[in-house]
């Protein structure tokens, strides 16, 4: 209550999981329960990577290559342990993500 840096609502979190909620309707007809679980886990990883400013393709390639090792260091692949992409392309991805999550979602609520 005393920390001014904290949001007074959970709109940001709700916007972040909205694609997952919409996806759950699509996953209703997954072939197997484990297939639906896998889709949900992948979607969670994707959204967390986006929220941490990573370029998704680069992040997924790094994970696939690194996790193929005999004894991978899992902590090295957590999105918050990686540096966000500061290149112009990375900046455009973050701007696009913010636009979709904040501006478009806000205009739908009006």
Sequence spans of domains, the chain:
11-109
Q: Which residue has the tokens 């992409």?
A: 85
Q: Which of 99, 89, 81, 78 is nearest to 55 (CA)?
A: 89
Task: Please report, in tens digits, the pLDDT of each residue of the chain (110 residues total).
Answer: 576 676 777 787 787 777 767 776 766 666 777 877 887 788 778 878 887 778 788 888 888 888 888 787 888 888 888 887 666 666 666 667 666 666 655 555 44
Check residue 104 and give its pLDDT: 59
d(CA 42, CA 45): 5
pLDDT of residue 45: 82
The pLDDT value recorded for residue 28 is: 66
In terms of pTM, does the model score above 0.75?
Answer: no
Residue 93, pLDDT score: 64
Write phi, then psi, for 5 (nearest 5 degrees).
-80, -15
Which tokens sit at 92? 């455009």
CB 17 within 8 A of CB 47: yes
pLDDT at 47: 79
Q: What secondary structure letter does DSSP report for 1?
A: -
């Amino acid at each position: 209550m005393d920390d001014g840096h904290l949001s007074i609502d959970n709109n940001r979190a709700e916007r972040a999981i909205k694609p997952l909620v919409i996806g759950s309707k699509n996953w209703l007809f997954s072939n197997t329960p484990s297939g639906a679980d896998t889709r949900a886990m992948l979607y969670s990883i994707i959204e967390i990577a986006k929220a941490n400013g990573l370029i998704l393709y680069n992040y997924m390639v790094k994970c696939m290559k690194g996790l193929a090792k005999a004894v991978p260091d899992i902590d090295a692949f957590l999105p918050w342990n990686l540096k966000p992409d500061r290149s112009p392309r990375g900046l455009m991805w973050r701007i696009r993500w913010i636009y979709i999550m904040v501006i478009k979602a806000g205009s739908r609520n009006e």
